[in-house]
Amino acid sequence: MEQNIRIADMVPGQQIQGCYILKDIRRKTSSNGSPFLSARIRDATGEVDSKIWNYSGPLTAEDSGRVMLIRGEVTEFNGSLQFIIQRVRPAQEGDRCDIADLVPSAPIGTASALIEVREILASIEDGEYRSLCQAMLERHLDSFLTIPAAKSVHHAFRSGLLMHTLNMLRSADFLAGLYREVIDRSLLLAGAFLHDFGKEREMVRSELGLVTDYSAPGLLLGHLYMGAQEVSEIAHEQGMAEEKTMLLQHLILSHHGQPEYGAAVEPQCAESELLSIIDLMDSRMEIYAEAVSELKPGSFSGKLFALGKAVYRHR
Amino acid sequence: MEQNIRIADMVPGQQIQGCYILKDIRRKTSSNGSPFLSARIRDATGEVDSKIWNYSGPLTAEDSGRVMLIRGEVTEFNGSLQFIIQRVRPAQEGDRCDIADLVPSAPIGTASALIEVREILASIEDGEYRSLCQAMLERHLDSFLTIPAAKSVHHAFRSGLLMHTLNMLRSADFLAGLYREVIDRSLLLAGAFLHDFGKEREMVRSELGLVTDYSAPGLLLGHLYMGAQEVSEIAHEQGMAEEKTMLLQHLILSHHGQPEYGAAVEPQCAESELLSIIDLMDSRMEIYAEAVSELKPGSFSGKLFALGKAVYRHR
Amino acid sequence: MEQNIRIADMVPGQQIQGCYILKDIRRKTSSNGSPFLSARIRDATGEVDSKIWNYSGPLTAEDSGRVMLIRGEVTEFNGSLQFIIQRVRPAQEGDRCDIADLVPSAPIGTASALIEVREILASIEDGEYRSLCQAMLERHLDSFLTIPAAKSVHHAFRSGLLMHTLNMLRSADFLAGLYREVIDRSLLLAGAFLHDFGKEREMVRSELGLVTDYSAPGLLLGHLYMGAQEVSEIAHEQGMAEEKTMLLQHLILSHHGQPEYGAAVEPQCAESELLSIIDLMDSRMEIYAEAVSELKPGSFSGKLFALGKAVYRHR
Amino acid sequence: MEQNIRIADMVPGQQIQGCYILKDIRRKTSSNGSPFLSARIRDATGEVDSKIWNYSGPLTAEDSGRVMLIRGEVTEFNGSLQFIIQRVRPAQEGDRCDIADLVPSAPIGTASALIEVREILASIEDGEYRSLCQAMLERHLDSFLTIPAAKSVHHAFRSGLLMHTLNMLRSADFLAGLYREVIDRSLLLAGAFLHDFGKEREMVRSELGLVTDYSAPGLLLGHLYMGAQEVSEIAHEQGMAEEKTMLLQHLILSHHGQPEYGAAVEPQCAESELLSIIDLMDSRMEIYAEAVSELKPGSFSGKLFALGKAVYRHR
Amino acid sequence: MEQNIRIADMVPGQQIQGCYILKDIRRKTSSNGSPFLSARIRDATGEVDSKIWNYSGPLTAEDSGRVMLIRGEVTEFNGSLQFIIQRVRPAQEGDRCDIADLVPSAPIGTASALIEVREILASIEDGEYRSLCQAMLERHLDSFLTIPAAKSVHHAFRSGLLMHTLNMLRSADFLAGLYREVIDRSLLLAGAFLHDFGKEREMVRSELGLVTDYSAPGLLLGHLYMGAQEVSEIAHEQGMAEEKTMLLQHLILSHHGQPEYGAAVEPQCAESELLSIIDLMDSRMEIYAEAVSELKPGSFSGKLFALGKAVYRHR
Amino acid sequence: MEQNIRIADMVPGQQIQGCYILKDIRRKTSSNGSPFLSARIRDATGEVDSKIWNYSGPLTAEDSGRVMLIRGEVTEFNGSLQFIIQRVRPAQEGDRCDIADLVPSAPIGTASALIEVREILASIEDGEYRSLCQAMLERHLDSFLTIPAAKSVHHAFRSGLLMHTLNMLRSADFLAGLYREVIDRSLLLAGAFLHDFGKEREMVRSELGLVTDYSAPGLLLGHLYMGAQEVSEIAHEQGMAEEKTMLLQHLILSHHGQPEYGAAVEPQCAESELLSIIDLMDSRMEIYAEAVSELKPGSFSGKLFALGKAVYRHR
């Protein structure tokens, strides 16, 4: 009996016990009339079809997506692996299931990323912008470190928002220097840090931290509105100047660039224009990174939904 | 010397003294080298070219748009009227200048319109929606009674917002009955009443109450965002239920119907969909009313900027 | 043996005889080589899978959509109902099959709706418009009372056109009062009544009155053109004034509002503009009503083809 | 005194009497207070500024566009020609004013063009299509020979419609042979001949045959609808088969190719698709011909309104 | 045992040996555990499902699309034909497999088409254009005679490019005469001949000459760019005048008409405008021909991907 | 008599001699019949109206835009400066006219910018990309240092292309580090350096180095095509690998991002996607810089043609 073998490493014949996510659970009846359970098990490395023969236990479709302690055997069917479950129950404390093994996470160190974010925030020259950013960070610290940046499309993994925000802060820092004649560095950095905080309320997350759906406020109000509104509240609490409060809200409301991409207003100052471009750039680069990682050199992907086109991985 | 003759009634030869708006003021020099002032005078009935010969007084382009006490003579030049000003100074208290004579106003009685608005609000079944609407009315009563609904395009006159809102309340009331299976009357009426309150901060108004420009917050944040945000604040003060607060904001944020027409989000419930249609309908009907009033039966207007097409007045 | 149980009321174990529509008929062979028929039975309340084991009778895919007299038993398979047919033949006169039980109908009383339509037409002040409308009503009375307003999308049930037209007449009547300065009530009501008469030739209907397809003239000419043309013919027969004939045709040709939504010309007078908005409004409200009726409070639909977006049913 | 000198041939110093169109007439007052008339005179070869000093005669702006018998002298002002009128009165019968000298005409022989059109119509194999075309030709013969094809854009000169129709018949004849597997030659030729007959009612023409405006039916119904409707009437009178009548109407209604270019329906059969392409091709080639004729080799035009781009004349 | 029966002529019960393409090969396991091969066989007349029972031979999915020598029996399953393969191996020299029997070809004679192309090229008046065209023809002769014009959409069969080019040359020849005032015949014919030569590098072809995919240069550079570039190289080798070299490249780069259809620049001279229309026309007519050939008179196709609409075959 | 006073420093009463550009030259006649010349003089700091009274010399509109040696007096007319020219002749060698004083130049040091460009090119790791870039630089050195990046819109001044290219190289260098997992630094830097070299042939420049127009090849082929083609030629001369040659051309052809913005193909690899974003970013930032420099804090510009919207300068 092997323990917690990663799905990508499974081979037929192994007897395994470990923690996996059980998904797509469906109760079925075989041709001879006996009930069984069809499902898939997954961890951060992949997923595989699974069956529990002669099953009349308590699990139903409602349990899909939960972490289970599972024992069974790896077999092969029609040229693909199949995991035959012999025992299964929801994971409990004490089972030592590590979420990081089960769901994909951003390829960054959370702790060092947070240190770098804090350093950049501390470098914001304008005291009002700086203290507002720091207040937002402390208020949302837990979720800021773990939530994805999206349900799919790009950065749809644990700590995706942290990774996306850090990349944007780095670019904003560099570009504020390159375009210093027209860019207020403090405003741009504050906008880069704050632009996606509304995503926390926009998304419904599973117990594992992945986005399972958009929330009603997320769809009916949008994360731009909710983010701008919260920033406005804190700004008023902190007594920030009217003009600066307005500019921060403008950067958040316009960071999707164009109304047809979801911007509530169009960017109309240099910092909001640049912020919307940096956001586009980082999301595009991540989409390429995810798509290209699955391609052989010299080949094209299929048409990507997020870009409306196929992409090429060169040699 | 006649007093306060309306511009539409002026005829050559009249000696007139009265209150008029002096606009488009420009200092010029005649071919013989003497300085003069070129301007136009206007009241609610029209406008006419005007000159002050041999003028070296204090008025400059900066004074354009102010109310003046003016004395002079009506003449004719190249087939058009021209008003030769002999004396002019800014109007003062005691000059008995009535703003209602000087700028166009909505063709409704303000007092009776307010009574009707109040009656409709009182009929809102849901206590939370009703009290929020009544609070907003009292908070903004002065401006609600006088501001235009726009800088141009439609309802761009004193009390234009009141007229537009009342028409929409009437339609909402009727249509909530027609579509009662799918429409929550309280929500629709509240949305119809609240949808344009953000316009107060969106527009810069002259001392005469007309819109001279859009404000910086108006352009950088938009009246949808500002209106939704204020409603959200009051809703929280009044302890309104989360779902209702969200719905009111959704109706305001989506009332332009589509992102390319300025909606921050698309309508996604029956009441927001209907509200966006009622808003479109009332603005379109007012555009037609204003355009058609200047046409002869059986003729077309030129291409209207607000519609992108010409319109026909039938016989 | 129970008679004509509604599909929505079936429970396993019932022995039933009754009239149902047999659809999606397919001849198949079981794994043991014996032939059987796979189909679905439906009535106005729903539909359910169905099988005829060991069937070598005359029914083929060509018979799909016909009304049958059916006898059989309700069973359960894989958690869903299944109707095992023991006897089946096409319905005949004398079987007392009521079409109203089998296909969905508008939730209105046809007779009272017709009375209301007639009253509104009788109230049209202009004699020429009024008599043309009344002539069209008598000419198409049968189909006007029964045909759907569409193949799918909205009002795609028996008497859908009647329901849609009546709603529009009610709105037109109210709005002609609200916008009386710019709207000719007679013209608007006539347009609201006449706008969709071309649909009769646009659609191919089954013997049950539902739309099975669009006709060749429907696709190659469109119901706007066909409707306007017939109105023009009758107008000439009745000696209607040129201007009025032109206006009626214009309202019909433009009632889809924009060329990309199928309008042959754009609305260019106040009545055609308003008519196109009323039409949009009624179709949108019906789409919401149909979508929302299948949702739980607090949930979203999937993306609706007719709207290009999901819709929310609030609590 | 020279007679009827073409404007393109005028030189300063000439004393001239002749027929010209007087346009852009405006009554003015000179700086010394004396009244004069400012206008332009034109013929088919060009136009030139014109003045009548000390004029207090009966001509007003209303007379713009009429043919006048004019006497005067060619002078020069600020480097351009100016025609000083000494006598002017509306042309009368007996003045021997030839319209062909005054307005631009298609560069084709009307008589020979008509012969060719008749020959092509006579070659239509299908008797029903052929006789309908011939009936339409006789019914509209006068206007068909003289009206322009448009108010501006292309073929906006006398006999423009004849030239455009003949070119399209020639192309249709050739292409019906090239694509004979998929094209019904009779239908394509009939469509090419009939497609623009609705233009006669669409345009308001001056006494000189040029288009001065679009008519109310032209704007509210469109020439596609009016043309299809008349063809439908004649088809019914002649007892044409339903399918053919439908196809002819379809070709006319769809010949602008796409709804955003004014097509009432999209082309959906091979002949309507090809007809819309031939129409596009002939109008584009004429736009190029008119634009290029005013360019030097190796140079670009300004941006053409009709094409939305500049065009190049190569060497 | 019958030889090389065309698939369209197969009937159940035949024992057949012949050359077919084996496609969609998949290895499967039956319910009793024995391995079999599921595939389809095709020739130029159609395709049919196929099985090899108890197969453990060397063929895999990788062999899909190759020509095989096959022996087996025609049977029927669930109302459709099924070919049970008894023996199969890749075709070899000596098997007398004729590619023309296996893949669809343009319905023209290749030899006579080439003669006609050569005659038209010889008629080009301008010596520089003519010799460049002739040089291109000889350089690419083999592929020009056989390659398809596309992967799908239109002319996606052997010699499709030859057929498409010849049709366009014929139209160009006729239209250069009709529009001789504005069209340089030599330039138009040269453009029509050269416009699609870049397609050879754009497509990846199977050993049978059909397009299996687009190449990396095809997708990253496009056939317009590659074609223009090669023409430019030969033009420089032949010492063609700068202006003419520029014009030829312009015609090739712009022949898709609009940027959203893939044009690298918009047509800006009469010849490039006309060339883009001729290209559109020939591709549209071929799309209709292919779609209509599968329809019954009086019926519509489904929505065609290439046109975005359904098409009608009239009676 | 003062020498070479900058126009921004002129005050009424000065007697000045110096080099200026004479533009908008028009010959006119005063009301008393005497000829005079109306023009404007400009240098890099501004422009001012100018007159030469009683002028019958050789200058005409054709001389507009040339550098002149001018003597005259600064006066005031209608509140604006006016320069009364007393003597004027085209500048000659020996007049010591410095072009840098007369036309606007990029606010960078050309020499140091070139050094930085060379350093960045030297840092390109891939030898093939590096040597191609260096070859292009030497081949075009003179024009690369001086030409504008556009006729208007952005960087429309001397050395504008150098400034734009350097900024892009700096951003590309930084971003290649940030996105090193998906970006090939050598390819991105080579693309950033090469992307606009086709502009040299695209623009027609005056003797002063400003863009007066687009060239025929510029309009008919575009700078993307011309740039890619030249790079392809040099790549072949240098024996660069096929794949790399293709990628460089792809980056150049796609750097406008979308077909509607002029891209010949869409970006399809990470480097071309990023290059198109960097290009957009640098042009947008320069547009803001130029627009904002003319605004007061807290105010909006008019609608900018290049952006389709107004922009805000915050406080």
Output the DSSP codes for B64-79. Answer: TTEEEEEEEEEEEETT
Query: Closest partner residue to E310 among D179, D181, D268, by Cβ?
Result: D268
Closest by Cα among B274, B252, B271 to B263 = B252
Mean pLDDT, residues F298-313 taken together: 95
What single-letter DSSP state applies at residue E36? Answer: E
User: Between D and E, how many CB-CB pairs are < 8 A?
Assistant: 93
Taking CB atoms and an 8 Å cutoff, what residues of chain E touch A310? Answer: 219
**CB hemisphere CA count around D85 (13 angstroms):** 27
Nearest-neighbour CA in chain E from A309: distance (Å): 11
C295 touching chain B per CB within 8 A: no
Instruction: State both tokens at C299.
Output: 């949930």
Mean pLDDT across chain F: 93
- List the chains bordering chain B where 3 or more Cβ pairs fall under 8 Å: A, C, D, F
Taking CB atoms and an 8 Å cutoff, what residues of chain C touch B165? Answer: none
Residue of C nearest to A29 (CA): C78
User: With an 8 Å Cβ cutoff, are C300 and A219 in contact?
Assistant: yes
Nearest-neighbour CA in chain E from D18: distance (Å): 33
pLDDT score for F97: 85
A216 touching chain C per CB within 8 A: yes
Closest by Cα among F110, F173, F167 to F284 = F167
Residue of D nearest to E301 (CA): D268
* pLDDT tens column, F260-292: 999 999 999 999 999 999 999 999 999 999 999
Nearest-neighbour CA in chain B from A221: distance (Å): 6
Instruction: State both tokens at C21.
Output: 């529509």
Q: Rounded distance, CA A119 to CA A193, Å? A: 12
Closest by Cα among D273, D221, D224 to D253 = D224
Mean pLDDT, residues D100-123 taken together: 93
User: With an 8 Å Cβ cutoff, are E219 and A312 in contact?
Assistant: yes
E219 touching chain A per CB within 8 A: yes
User: With an 8 Å Cβ cutoff, are C171 and B181 in contact?
Assistant: no
Q: Rounded distance, CA C141 to CA C157, Å? A: 17
Query: Closest partner residue to F220 among D78, D79, D312, by Cβ?
Result: D312
Residues of chain C with pLDDT under 50: none
Relative to beta strand A15-29, strand A35-43 is antiparallel
Q: Residue E311: is its pLDDT beyond 80?
A: yes
Q: Residue E161: is its pLDDT beyond 70?
A: yes
Taking CB atoms and an 8 Å cutoff, what residues of chain F touch E260? Answer: 259-260
Best mutation target, C221, C224, C266, C268, to test chain D (most D CBs within 10 A): C221
Q: Residue A79: is its pLDDT beyond 80?
A: no
D308 touching chain F per CB within 8 A: no
Residue identified by tokens 């190249």 is B78
Mean pLDDT, residues F234-252 taken together: 97
- Under DSSP, is residue B24 helix (H, G, I), strand (E, B) or coil? strand
Q: Rounded distance, CA D195 to CA D165, Å? A: 9
Closest by Cα among B111, B103, B108, B109 to B156 = B103
C61 touching chain E per CB within 8 A: no
Confidence of residue B62 (pLDDT cuts 50, 70, 90): confident
pLDDT score for F64: 84
Confidence of residue F145 (pLDDT cuts 50, 70, 90): very high
Confidence of residue D231 (pLDDT cuts 50, 70, 90): very high
Best mutation target, D284, D296, D301, D304, to test chain E (most E CBs within 10 A): D284
Report in angstroms the alpha-carbon separations of C222 from B244, C197, F87, F257, F264. Answer: 43, 11, 75, 40, 39
Q: Residue E31: is its pLDDT beyond 70?
A: no
* pLDDT tens column, A187-198: 999 999 999 999
Mean pLDDT across chain D: 93
User: With an 8 Å Cβ cutoff, are C29 and E300 in contact?
Assistant: no
φ, ψ of residue A98 in degrees (nearest 5): -100, 115
A79 touching chain E per CB within 8 A: yes
pLDDT score for C44: 87
* pLDDT tens column, E214-227: 999 999 999 999 99
Closest by Cα among A245, A134, A135, A154 to A199 = A154
Residue identified by tokens 């206590």 is B127
Overall size of chain F counted in residues? 315
Confidence of residue E40 (pLDDT cuts 50, 70, 90): very high
pLDDT score for D98: 84
Q: Residue B30: is its pLDDT beyond 80?
A: no
Percent of chain C with pLDDT over 90: 73
pLDDT score for B254: 98
Taking CB atoms and an 8 Å cutoff, what residues of chain A touch B221? Answer: 228, 246, 249-250, 253, 265
Residue D24's region, left for phi above 0, alpha for psi from -120 to 50, else beta, is left
Instruction: State both tokens at B118.
Output: 């109040």
User: With an 8 Å Cβ cutoff, are F268 and E224 in contact?
Assistant: no
pLDDT score for F31: 65
Taking CB atoms and an 8 Å cutoff, what residues of chain F touch B220? Answer: 312
D298 touching chain F per CB within 8 A: yes
User: Between D and F, how many CB-CB pairs are < 8 A?
Assistant: 10
User: With an 8 Å Cβ cutoff, are D280 and E277 in contact?
Assistant: yes
Mean pLDDT, residues E31-58 taken together: 87
Nearest-neighbour CA in chain D from E310: distance (Å): 7
- List the chains bordering chain F where 3 or more Cβ pairs fall under 8 Å: A, B, D, E
User: pTM above 0.80?
Assistant: yes
Burial E243-264 (b: 16+ CB within 10 A, else e): ebbbbbbbbbbbbbbebeeebb
Residue of D nearest to B31 (CA): D31
pLDDT score for B255: 98
Residue of C nearest to A214 (CA): C300
User: With an 8 Å Cβ cutoff, are F312 and B28 in contact?
Assistant: no
Query: Closest partner residue to B78 among D29, D216, D220, by Cβ?
Result: D29
B241 touching chain A per CB within 8 A: no
Nearest-neighbour CA in chain D from F4: distance (Å): 34
Best mutation target, F34, F219, F305, to test chain D (most D CBs within 10 A): F219
C24 or D125, which is more confident? D125
φ, ψ of residue F196 in degrees (nearest 5): -115, 15
Q: Residue E78: is its pLDDT beyond 80?
A: no
Partners of residue F83 on adjacent β-strands? F50, F74
pLDDT score for A31: 65
Nearest-neighbour CA in chain D from F55: distance (Å): 14
pLDDT score for D147: 92
User: With an 8 Å Cβ cutoff, are B219 and F78 in contact?
Assistant: no
pLDDT score for B77: 82
pLDDT score for D65: 83
